[in-house]
Structure 1
């Protein structure tokens, strides 16, 4: 034993002493042996013209340059790929969706194990569970469940998020925020078990009965931290018809309607108290996390407008109208108001993406695929760079393929507002004012979600008990270095302002 331990550091030193290009070629050879005959189609390195497209997810960046990207075809390929990475001194990094704001699913000099083609869906005969590939995107999952229901808008479904191109494993590793969560809980609350490949290359089952600590950790404990999940068994539930509300305020129009607004250099309304955005935000934040738990809602605050979207799970339209009336929102300014009832689940998911109200079932069936029937690499092409297009197949080939998801240079930060540290109206006024300091070309906005979840659950997600709301700040960045530095500086200054308040 002493001899073997003595040789381990010697082996590591010898390995790392190899030139990086030699190590990368050795790694490529190892991966090719795992992949077999079609390895050339599924391995991408910096020498390939499709490298830029293959390595970049939603966020356009040039900091994270992986050594090799391996596109997995079968779940049993994951374990030997991890062994390849360890043998050649390279960090293995799993990727299911590619939505991480800092591109942590494609780290510098890493072996990216892309599992987006592990996207099978098998629903049990009783409709109680679905066994799902760990790399499936949420839109593809919803498409498959719709087909398993025989194309019906009624029946079983699963509480996933509203962004159709997010990968299931990344979604669950972050907790599983969704627009029904105040009624039915987080996504991690609807997981039965998982198949996980560990760092030692072993595949194990994680469930309440087998490896319960691992089962707890992979649900909300961080992406790829404890293993690579290659398969999930999800608990399905009957989804009732629901009602949706969408309200939209134009800040300038509301200010001008009150007769005493003036414009600044960017065209924003500046009369004190007349810009609807801050007043709407204050009313919504005081009410939405405390509203009937059937209603989960979000607020989108832009430089010229604010938008309120709510999903009332299992509610009739009249019930939703009564709940929203308690907020006072309809009487603030001059909102454009859309209520719709009797919404099937996919129709409800389309609100805000493909329309302002739930379409009838037959219309939803026609338009939903344009958002939900995603392919494995669903992002818009990058100008000047060839597309990686190996085996791109939608979940339902007979339906239209989902529109490509936009890529952008993205700067973002997020905050959980805790129940013990709820900001007052002056803080919200300041946040709205700060938004107006940014260049409109970056389309900056705040995305604010009501939490205060009463549904119990046991997972690694740390914010369930204390989260009152979740605020995300987003702006598209710039290729201009000075403009980008100014944007980053704004985020740092806003962090310094808000973090001490909300914790």
Structure 2
């Protein structure tokens, strides 16, 4: 269609035509040719995978002829858009290597899956081989307890319990079913990040399978560019991680706070919710860096949860008194819990399964004791996939199944040089309260302003700029009319809030409907360097997903990045109609 690089205006015109003329296309996938397979590829791929996985291969392979296919192709998010050719559950790096070779031989893309929490289900794309690494989850602690070697598919709950046995831990988030590899591909924020930094700051080295099926080691001194990119530069993009060597921490005992405002005439008024959120965002990111906290804004409740690392109950009480949160509305919060002397597990569970600092022997971390495939059954009764499901601890009851739902969400960073104006904050609180109860809408807003590990060499793009992170989530509906209303709500939120906050978003919460350039939104100023790493380690774009970095180096500035993003969407939309676009290599720099 184009013989040379078109202007942005021209491309936007054709983009409009493409999305309005191809029915049913909503996501900016890589081109159909990127996922083209050889004839009879599915059969050949399965035969190859059986050889790769050995004697119990049949019990670890799922395709669309399997009763458990719908269960296996979904992670946490219930979705009806992605239909992989084959799903393979691996147990070792060697198996991952062989499966990558199988995919290559059959012209099929391989997509890695760690925890299955991807907000857009990009870890289980249509017409791909899904390489599930959830059973690569061994944890071996060094004798000096300073490091541990962990399988890349280890879920955080399992990691923490394994480390508990050695009286040590890893700096990571609180969701027990999140996979380690996915956490680290995004950056990894937590309730101790303001003083301790991000999870990616605590990786010493990694092993990964490249697009040729070769196992490589990466660290600050070996394949350092790959090491940099795989820590915060996006998942499923450069290679498939199979192992991380982690630097461990012995976090001190801490004080915890939990506040709620609710029950004012059965609801929290707009004024109360707004006043709490406003004061929180003014104060919490500027508080003592040892204090990391979040405010949760629901339709009829507001909560504040905080972890004061290494501090006492008295010190936390003084901090909260100085915050003005305890009387900001003119009424005391309905619930005020300020506790001290919590150990690390207790602190992670605080506000979720416990609301007190208990004796260590009384802490029950059952929610962390997850199996490898931890999600609940689908509502339609689809059989669940299981394979040698185990827990880490025999002395703690197993975690209940982690609930699946039709997840909807948005992510925005407030940046230090562009704080949200009061009128905008008041409006988004009002919007949260306008949505019906069935949506279970909530805003989960974290104080950032990270002081630790500035200048750390990994690819997370927003460490220096982020003041707070504003996350919005809701449960979708099977009711078509109601679902369209929810989609419109999020579309309107994007249109209202994005111009006020700017493009920055967290790559762990990817959003197919983001209105800004996704590359810059998720990776900031690191895009061009990431493209260079991609071109070096995966020049043929074997590992890809709709928002993955490509091996194409855009010329110039933002306009060319926008063109690259729109090209990706156009290519998917137009190829089905037999329309050829310009060669994407035209975008490539010298």
| TM-score for the superposition, normalised by structure 2 | 0.77
CA distance in 2 between counterparts of 1:386 and 1:293 reads 47
2:38–2:106 contact (8 Å) kept in structure 1: no
CA distance in 2 between counterparts of 1:93 and 1:192 reads 25
| Counterparts in 2 of 1:236 and 1:385: CA distance versus 1, 3 Å | same
CA-based RMSD of the aligned residues comes to 1.5
Shift in Å, 1:397: 3.3
**Aligned mate of 1:177, from 165, 189, 204:** 189
1:172–1:188 contact (8 Å) kept in structure 2: yes
Shift in Å, 1:148: 2.4
1:137–1:165 contact (8 Å) kept in structure 2: yes
2:295–2:303 contact (8 Å) kept in structure 1: yes
Q: Which residue of 2 aligns with 1:426?
A: 423
2:300 matched to 1:301? no
2:108–2:129 contact (8 Å) kept in structure 1: yes
Task: Write out per-residue CA displacement over residues 445-486 of structure 1, whole angstroms, 9 at most, x where no aligned residue.
Answer: 000000000112221000101000101100000001111111
CA distance in 1 between counterparts of 2:268 and 2:57 reads 58
2:394 matched to 1:397? yes
Task: Write out per-residue CA displacement over residues 288-339 of structure 1, whole angstroms, 9 at most, x where no aligned residue.
Answer: 0110000000111101001100001111111111122221001133311111
Which one scores higher on RCO, CA 8 angstroms, separation ≥ 6?
A: 2
Alignment of 1:170-319 (within 5 A): 170-250=182-262, 252-253=263-264, 256=265, 268=267, 273=271, 276-319=272-315
Task: Write out per-residue CA displacement over residues 92-141 of structure 1, whole angstroms, 9 at most, x where no aligned residue.
Answer: 00011000111011011110000000000111101100110000000000
Q: Which residue of 2 aligns with 1:8?
A: none
CA distance in 1 between counterparts of 2:62 and 2:485 reads 35
Alignment of 1:44-443 (within 5 A): 44-149=62-167, 156-250=168-262, 252-253=263-264, 256=265, 268=267, 273=271, 276-332=272-328, 333-335=331-333, 336-364=335-363, 367-368=364-365, 370-383=366-379, 384-443=381-440
CA distance in 2 between counterparts of 1:48 and 1:496 reads 42
Runs of 4+ with deviation above 3 angstroms: 267-270
CA distance in 2 between counterparts of 1:433 and 1:398 reads 46
CA distance in 1 between counterparts of 2:443 and 2:54 reads 47
CA distance in 2 between counterparts of 1:177 and 1:295 reads 14
Shift in Å, 1:398: 4.0
Structure 1 residue ranges without an equivalent (≥5): 1-11, 150-155, 257-266
CA distance in 1 between counterparts of 2:229 and 2:375 reads 30
1:96–1:114 contact (8 Å) kept in structure 2: yes
CA distance in 2 between counterparts of 1:430 and 1:330 reads 23
Task: Write out per-residue CA displacement over residues 146-177 of structure 1, whole angstroms, 9 at most, x where no aligned residue.
Answer: 1223xxxxxx2111101000000000100011
Structure 2 residue ranges without an equivalent (≥5): 1-32, 503-590
| Counterparts in 2 of 1:17 and 1:134: CA distance versus 1, 3 Å | closer
Task: Write out per-residue CA displacement over residues 326-356 of structure 1, whole angstroms, 9 at most, x where no aligned residue.
Answer: 2100113331111111110001111122022
CA distance in 1 between counterparts of 2:169 and 2:162 reads 10
Shift in Å, 1:358: 2.4
Q: Which residue of 2 aligns with 1:469?
A: 468
Shift in Å, 1:269: 5.3
Q: Which residue of 1 aligns with 2:51?
A: 33
